[in-house]
Copies of this chain bind each other. A is one copy, B any other.
Amino acid sequence: MRSNRLHTLLLATLLAFFSATSRNTIASDRPNVLVILVDDLGYGDLSCYGAEDMRTPHMDQLMQRGVRLNEFYANCPVCSPTRASLLSGRYPDRVGVPGVIRTHAGDNWGFLDPSAILLSELFQRNEYHTALVGKWHLGLESPNTPTERGFDTFHGFLGDMMDDYYHHQRHGHHYMRKNKEVIHPKGHATDLFAQWANSFLLEQALQEEPFLLYLAFNAPHTPIQPPKSWLHRVKAREDGISHKRASLVALIEHLDAAIGSVLQTLDRTKLSENTIVAFASDNGGQLNVGARCGPLRGGKQDMYEGGIKVPACVLWPSRISPGQTSNQRLLTMDLYPTLCEAADIEISHTIEGVSFLPMLLGKEQEWPQRDLVWMRREGNMRYQGRDYYALRRGPWKLVQNSPFMPYELYHLEKDPMEATNQAHKETKVYRELVRALQYHVQQGGKVAWQSPR
């Protein structure tokens, strides 16, 4: 505990200093970038998304401080592929990550294309300080560790999840790293990541150059393991709440406080004014641990809306007016060009993501006619190593919720719960969407998704 107290003391001292001035904000008008990714947070699991048994003031406030994105979709209903899209600006199957990357080779469904140009690499080349704090999940070894893929510093863990929020191991492996060094920190992962992010921000406030901080919390992913005091508080407050739901609520509230501390650091260092913050979940909530995905069908792993539609917002106090919402349909990969454009970083390679910065800045933006596509590959007896897909065009969604199902067709405007399959009725639409999806499947064949070794 002593180190925690010292840390708090140091933080207070530094904050006192920065409340006077912040060199970073003065020296450069290139914005800092903070991406906050949370893990398995469902579309219904924030107070401001309708969760009445939950108090998430900091994330609620985040949503208020810029543009809340009501139609933001994760690129995939599971973890690694969405992260690959965030960092590459591309569909997951265009960068070799159709499924979850895992410890055991037989259960590993992705290999990040070494030739993909990551957001971190672009920002690093453009003289940003780049850091990843928290969950990487895009490779356990060379060439795909964070410091090899554009992050100046990495303080977090490599793996897909932790088997325990306090010992941080996965399948008996220690995946916590400070850059390349194996570390054994003490504490709840959410607290650690917030501390490490705060430390990074304090350092950055002293720097001339802007930063890119990718802060990837593993909460509220399983195991649903909030600090005990947080669980007690929720149980005491919420009459009749189940232990299961209370645990998840507490884990999310604890996460909310951690995010609050980071936002506070941003504010008190005066970094926040010129820091663009993007916040999103990597996929929908996991229903069987009590998560809620709002009024949507399905949850994590599902190609139905609950698996892919997620809470998200972007703020940039000096440029984006607060209190806005947008119903523009977006994907995780759109953040890549958006953040690059904000940082005036040119993209000269092919990506599928589309910048929505003009919209954020309140400018007229012409939207491309585009289909949105989701795909995932997974092992086990349900998926058997095969891939499954969804495609959205206008109000129509073609969707297959497991590899062996025929495609279903839903009209999401008339049928947001995806209840009435129109595949056999709207055959023209069905055929057009199947053809479009076939094209996507084919393009995915350009990239291997297992290590050649």
Contacts and interface: CB of A to CB of B under 8 A. Distances in A.
Interface of A: 98, 106, 108-109, 111, 377, 379, 381, 384-387, 404-407, 431, 434, 437-439, 441-443, 445-452
Contact of A445 (B106, B406, B439, B450): B450
A93 B109 CA distance: 16
B451 A446 contact: yes
B379 A434 contact: no
B439 A450 contact: no
Given A404-B406, A438-B379, A439-B106, A446 B448 contact: yes
B438 A384 contact: yes
Given A111-B445, A386-B441, A445-B448, 6 more contacts: A106-B439, A108-B442, A384-B407, A384-B438, A385-B439, A445-B450
Given A445-B448, A447-B448, A437 B385 contact: yes
A446 B452 contact: yes
A71 to B, nearest CB: 27
A442 B379 contact: yes
Tell which of A437, A446, A452 has the most Cβ of chain B within 10 Å: A446
9 contacts: A381-B431, A381-B434, A384-B407, A384-B441, A404-B404, A404-B405, A404-B406, A447-B448, A448-B448
A404 B431 CA distance: 16
Contact of A384 (B108, B437, B446): B437
Nearest to A377: B445
Contacts of A439: 106, 385
Contacts of A452: 446-447
A234 B439 CA distance: 45
